[in-house]
């Protein structure tokens, strides 16, 4: 009984496999494979178009970001220049005050010496 069952399974599998191969190699199956392949190719084209659009958008975003950073760096440079000018102006005022104090001290010393 056990051997008959195995024999039936082997024969059934062989028949099923043969029928499957016939079915898979039929004209209708080829037609279905062709349509599926065409659909996959259309999908691939659509994906490539989307990828190209995405790449272009990323390039635009990168260019805009670089422009923003360059503008920010320029503003920082201008602020540094303004700050440096303010420090120089303060230093010149302080020098002028010291020179004025030094001139008045010299005048006092000259008056005392006389």
CB burial of 36-61 (b: ≥16 within 10 Å; e: otherwise) equals eeeeeeeeeeeeeeeeeeeeeeeeee
83 compared with 3, residue with greater pLDDT: 83
Distances (CA, A) of 5 to 16, 26, 113, 114: 16, 31, 138, 141
Quote the pLDDT of residue 53.
95
Model confidence pLDDT, tens digit, residues 63-73: 999 999 999 99
In angstroms, the CA 75 to CA 13 distance is 79
How far CA 91 is from CA of 9, 83, 85, 97, in Å, comes to 103, 12, 10, 10
Write out the two tokens for 84: 């440096």
User: How far separated are the first and last CA of the chain, in Å rounded?
Assistant: 146
Mention every residue, 6+ apart, whose C-beta is less than 8 A from residue 29: 23
Give dist(CA 23, CA 17) in Å, integer.
10
Percentage of the chain with pLDDT > 90? 50
Give the mean model confidence (pLDDT) for residues 70-94: 96
- The residue extents of the domains of the chain are 27-113
Element (H, E) at 96: helix 27-113
């Amino acid at each position: 009984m056990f051997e008959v069952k195995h024999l039936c399974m082997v024969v059934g599998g062989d028949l099923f496999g043969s029928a499957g191969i016939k079915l898979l190699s039929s004209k209708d199956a080829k037609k279905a494979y062709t349509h599926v392949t065409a659909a996959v190719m259309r999908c691939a084209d659509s994906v490539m178009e989307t990828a190209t659009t995405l790449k272009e958008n990323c390039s635009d975003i990168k260019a805009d970001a670089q422009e923003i950073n360059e503008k920010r760096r320029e503003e920082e440079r201008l602020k540094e220049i303004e700050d440096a000018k303010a420090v120089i102006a303060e230093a010149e005022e302080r020098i002028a005050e010291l020179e004025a104090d030094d001139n008045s001290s010299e005048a006092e010393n000259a008056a005392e010496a006389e």
